[in-house]
Copies of this chain bind each other. A is one copy, B any other.
Amino acid sequence: MTQNTQGYHVAVVGATGAVGQKMIETLEDRNFPISTISLLASKRSAGKKVLFNGEEVEIKEALPEAFEGVDIALFSAGGSISKKLAPEAVKRGAVVVDNTSAYRMDAEVPLVVPEVNKEDIKKHKGIIANPNCSTIQMVAALEPVREAFGLKRVIVSTYQAVSGAGTVAARELKDQSQAFLNGEELKPEILPVKGDEKHYPIAFNALPQIDVFQENGYTFEEMKMINETKKILHLDKLPVAATCVRLPFFTSHAESVYLEVEKDGASVAKLKELFEAAPGVVLEDDPENQSYPTPLSAEGKRDVFVGRIRRDLDQENGFHLWVVSDNLLKGAAWNSVQIAETIIENNWLK
């Protein structure tokens, strides 16, 4: 690829989706150095017009040829599209930042949260994977603790927003909530998993299923958290357990995280110091003043918020945290753009 002093030719694949739209907004907000932007989507969306930095941009169909001349392609159009088109983009000289599960566990593909393992980007062969939303915010909080005290085990229960299942799921929550308040019958069609056999109401409910079930009884979302966390932290043997639950709110995931550290000397005060100093992490923890993060308070922000830090009452080196972040930003669009920024800053496009 040719480095352009005027900026880069950037493509967004899945430009009309919940994450794609946040990618476009984040590129604008960050004043990302762009010479040309290609907004790509399915044939159905081609021809629509979207504003980018105040100018109308026509959405084009995501075809292999659309990647000619592209420097950086941000993918968020589902795993099968990434499987098909990411190699085509790489073949044409682009570096792909892929926000699907297609390549995350591929040993050849770096899986990156810049605050945690940006050096892994260097080893890329054209594709860098963006981790699952619920993984990103957890590892951002775990990393400063790992660095200072080591990690012995992690158990997480999640509280996840519907927007993680796309704009159709957010629409379903909205419509269903209104129907519920009107005393009408609920007719679930999307959640917990679009296209799966059964659907449950999400309005005023909680669904202990995110993504499809695996043979071992865990959902794919739970296995993503377990496997991706180990890969990103370079701790293949770290015991990680996850229970993932979909809840009736629109944006931001929250996580109840239990962790045990390896070294002695950790305390709530020391953990607070670590989080205060950690990049991309904001400490919001003052029980005396009822201060802690919530999904609504984290919405629209790029940081990972940590609160409710407590020492376990029985396990000397055990601690509990409450971790909240906007699943569409740090959990998806912002982490992808941040990877792209890191690539540029470090000259890692190659």
Contact = CB atoms under 8 A, between A and B. Distances in A.
Contacts of A291: 198
Contacts of A206: 159, 247, 249, 254, 294-295
A243 B249 CA distance: 19
Q: This chain: how many copies in the complex?
A: 2
B256 A245 contact: yes
A243 B320 contact: yes
Contacts of A256: 157, 208, 243, 245, 256
A170 to B, nearest CB: 10
Interface in A182-231: 192, 196-198, 200-201, 204-209, 213, 216-218, 226
A1 to B, nearest CB: 41
A213 B204 CA distance: 26
A122 B251 CA distance: 51
A308 B222 CA distance: 12
B314 A239 contact: yes
A272 to B, nearest CB: 11
A241 B198 contact: no
A155 interface: yes
A277 interface: no
Contacts of A213: 287-288, 290
A288 B243 CA distance: 17
A310 B216 contact: yes
A107 interface: no
A256 B207 CA distance: 12
Interface residues of A, number: 60
Interface string A18-44: 000000000000000000000000000
Contact of A217 (B153, B216, B287): B287
Interface of A: 153, 155, 157, 159, 174, 177-178, 181, 192, 196-198, 200-201, 204-209, 213, 216-218, 226, 239-241, 243, 245, 247-250, 254, 256, 258, 268, 287-292, 294-297, 307-315, 318, 320, 322
Given A197-B290, A208-B292, A226-B313, 20 more contacts: A153-B314, A159-B159, A159-B247, A181-B181, A204-B249, A204-B250, A206-B294, A206-B295, A207-B294, A208-B256, A208-B308, A213-B287, A216-B313, A217-B308, A217-B310, A218-B313, A239-B313, A240-B314, A243-B322, A247-B248
The 5 residue pairs across chains A and B that have the minimum distance between CB atoms: A239-B314, A157-B157, A157-B256, A213-B287, A204-B249
14 contacts: A153-B314, A157-B157, A178-B181, A207-B294, A208-B254, A208-B256, A217-B268, A217-B311, A241-B313, A241-B314, A241-B315, A243-B256, A247-B248, A256-B256
